[in-house]
A and B are shown apart, each in its own frame.
Chain A
Amino acid sequence: MMSGKRVNPIPKIVAFVFLLAMAIIWIVPLLWGIVTSFKSEIELQTVGFKFLPIEWVLSNYTSLLVDNASTPLIRWFTNSLVISVSHTLLVLIIVTLSAFAFSRLEFRGKRLLFSFLMATMMFPAVVNLIPLYKIIDLFGWVNSPIAMIVPGAAGVFNIFLVRQFMNNIPIEFDEAARMDGATDFQILRKVILPLIKPVLLVVSLFSFTGSWNDFLWPSIVFNDVDKMPITPALQLLQGMYQSQPTLLMAGALIAIVPTFILYLFAQKYFLDSMSLSAGVKG
């Protein structure tokens, strides 16, 4: 039997050619969007089909950023930041506390409660949409960032994820601390928390991008243009500037900058997290 590595290069070449072809499909829309955002409207509509701008202009960006009356882009962007950061922090706190109870503490009905929470993941969220709006309205949170910060923290998937991670930490660690007289909360803070940072980072990335990219829910709970986050606001922008693709493109690109930057810095964690979340379920 031949064990000498006579690797057949053909599959690798086929794979490369296929990936290259697909990569072109994936990258062209992005590049096209970027160059278009630096073209003037007149050039786009009169010069005809051309990839690079004849004259690079910043007017699409400046007019969006300067004209604060009809398109408060900076405002939308800030609203999104406030919402996504607050939502992420809230989720981190709530999920850590809850996962700790399920992983480390004993109480009556623990298994039942956990199974019940997990089972609710199967429930289609679309049924909640209308009543949830009414509840937000009753609390006076329509047009308030709270409407996007708090309700999303009801999710249970992150609890499952963090609990799984905590379960892998030996119980002896808690035990040693408990012998020294540490309370449950101290154990969580001093022993567990430093060890679960990787999974908390994953939860943060998901929560931040999920909140930043949320579309349907904010388009329902915000009707005040100044209070909106940027993702649903782009739909307004589309309505206003239907005939000005260059301007729209500048707006769209500004809206994807934060998640893009996050991806640049935490790419490994994004990719790991996908397999992590599928691994525990799959």
Chain B
Amino acid sequence: METVPATKRVKQVKMKQSKKSSFTPWLFLAPHLIIFGIFFLIPIFFGIYISFTEWDLISSPTFVGLDNYKEILLQSDSIFYEQLHTGLKNTFLFVLFVVPFCILVPLLLASALNSKPMFWKFFQSLFYLPSLFAISAVIIIWTLMFNVTYGPINNIFHLDTVWTGTQPYAWIALVIVTVWWSIGGNMIIYQAALNGISKDFYEAADIDGASAFQKFMKITLPSIRGQILYTVVITTIAHFNVYGQPLMLTGGGPTDSTRVLLMYIQQNAFGSGQSIAGIASAMAVILGLCIMVVASLQFFFLREKKN
């Protein structure tokens, strides 16, 4: 008697079925693939191409080779050179200031929540809540918090700090708003990860007389390494695309010290006056390359070391 393993049989029937009408899978895929092609794939190639052109968004683009890149990267008397360097520097600074807090603060919160103290569910909900709000609403709320004369911060601490208009306060304000707004997701990820660590490790460490700090460094961190890597990479990528906070909170000021690259890209391509979409595209490509390089480096240095 012939017996065929169940899994194999399933596969055979499945193959038969799909051979009968091998175009049906494509009917299922078509809606997404069409949208994906038109609104993702074509724009990628189009976007890279126009970075090599002079273009005003209206007439047809004129191919200029590497001119845009030469101008923004090397031609130091060009305004666009100035913009790229200022914008890129400020974007990197923003990432540098914000990302450590966006990892550390939710990690501390998750560790504290994990010991399940009183009201921990309420705390968890509260910390997650702002990440569901639009950035424009968040900035309006915080603009009042930072207001010089009737803002709670200056009044409670008896300060007269011009938070959004002087440095380093403008950066501090941007970091506070961004952390308040965006740590919810990472916190939940860490909570889930911490929950997954076996209690046995900690009990064994207790017997050996390990301190809380030692336990954190030797047990907790290594156990959630994967989640930390994941959150570092996605958080960094997300904050390289910073736009709303400096636009609405500091207006890029004081004197362009918080004006990020995406603000220049937006202004050059879609701002008032003639569009300079070719230059703006070259800036976008450079920003994109920075994101990919930094994300790859992080991945390379933080990934699980395999002996």
Q: Give Cα distance in the complex from A274 to B231, angstroms.
A: 11
Q: Give Cα distance in the complex from A105 to B140, angstroms.
A: 49
> Are B57's CB and A49's CB within 8 A?
no
Q: Give Cα distance in the complex from A275 to B136, angstroms.
A: 27
Q: Give Cα distance in the complex from A32 to B180, angstroms.
A: 15
Decide yes or no whether A19 CB sits under 8 A from chain B.
Answer: yes
Q: Give Cα distance in the complex from A270 to B127, angstroms.
A: 13
- Report whether over half of chain A's contact residues are helix, strand or loop; otherwise say mixed: helix
Q: Give Cα distance in the complex from A124 to B32, angstroms.
A: 20
Contact of B136 among A22, A175, A220, A255 (CB under 8 A): A255
Minimum CB–CB distance from A137 to chain B (whole Å) comes to 8
Q: Which of A216-269 contact B (CB under 8 A)?
A: 216, 220, 230-232, 234-235, 238, 245, 248-249, 251-253, 255-256, 259-260, 262-263, 267
Chain A neighbourhood of B122, CB < 8 A: 23
Decide yes or no whether B5 CB sits under 8 A from chain A.
Answer: no
Q: Give Cα distance in the complex from A188 to B27, angstroms.
A: 13
> Are A131's CB and B50's CB within 8 A?
yes
> Are A130's CB and B284's CB within 8 A?
yes
> Are A97's CB and B31's CB within 8 A?
yes
Stretch at the interface among A52-60, A62-70, A195-203, A207-215: A207-215
Instruction: Name the residue among B129, B142, B243 with the largest chain A CB count within 10 angstroms.
Output: B129
> Are A282's CB and B244's CB within 8 A?
no
Stretch at the interface among B36-44, B64-72, B80-88: B36-44
Decide yes or no whether B150 CB sits under 8 A from chain A.
Answer: yes
Q: Give Cα distance in the complex from A94 to B150, angstroms.
A: 49
Chain B residue total in the interface (Cβ 8 A): 104
Minimum CB–CB distance from A78 to chain B (whole Å) comes to 16
> Are A32's CB and B144's CB within 8 A?
yes
> Are A98's CB and B28's CB within 8 A?
yes
> Are B108's CB and A18's CB within 8 A?
yes
Decide yes or no whether B76 CB sits under 8 A from chain A.
Answer: no
Given known A-B contacts A16-B117, A97-B32, A126-B262, A245 and B280 have beta carbons under 8 A apart? no
> Are A33's CB and B144's CB within 8 A?
yes
Chain A neighbourhood of B207, CB < 8 A: 1
Task: Kindly report which residue of chain A lies nearest to residue B241, judged by CB atoms.
Answer: A126
User: Interface readout for B209-231 with A: 1 if CB under 8 Å, 0 if not?
Assistant: 00010000000000000110111
Minimum CB–CB distance from A262 to chain B (whole Å) comes to 8
Chain B neighbourhood of A260, CB < 8 A: 129, 132-133
Given known A-B contacts A30-B141, A215-B136, A153 and B35 have beta carbons under 8 A apart? yes
> Are B136's CB and A235's CB within 8 A?
yes
Decide yes or no whether A165 CB sits under 8 A from chain B.
Answer: no
Minimum CB–CB distance from A62 to chain B (whole Å) comes to 19
Q: Which of A36-51 contact B (CB under 8 A)?
A: 36, 44-45, 48-49
Given known A-B contacts A105-B24, A105-B25, A127-B284, A19 and B113 have beta carbons under 8 A apart? yes
Q: Give Cα distance in the complex from A131 to B46, angstroms.
A: 6
Stretch at the interface among B93-101, B162-170, B185-193: B185-193
User: Could you list 15 further interchain pairs (A-B, Cβ under 8 angstroms) beyond the known A16-B118, A27-B126?
Assistant: A12-B116, A16-B119, A32-B141, A49-B150, A49-B152, A94-B31, A101-B25, A113-B29, A127-B43, A129-B269, A184-B24, A215-B243, A231-B136, A235-B136, A245-B147
Give 29 pairs: A residue, B residue, CB < 8 Å, sorted on A: A23-B127, A26-B126, A26-B180, A45-B150, A48-B150, A101-B29, A107-B18, A107-B25, A107-B26, A117-B36, A124-B240, A126-B287, A127-B43, A127-B284, A130-B50, A130-B57, A153-B39, A231-B137, A245-B143, A249-B144, A252-B136, A252-B141, A259-B132, A260-B133, A271-B188, A274-B188, A275-B188, A278-B188, A282-B227
Which residues in A have some Cβ–Cβ distance to B below 8 Å? 1, 11-16, 18-20, 22-23, 25-30, 32-33, 36, 44-45, 48-49, 93-95, 97-98, 100-101, 105-108, 110, 113, 117, 120, 122-135, 137, 150-151, 153-154, 156, 159, 171-172, 175, 178, 184, 188, 209, 212-213, 215-216, 220, 230-232, 234-235, 238, 245, 248-249, 251-253, 255-256, 259-260, 262-263, 267, 270-271, 274-275, 278-279, 281-282
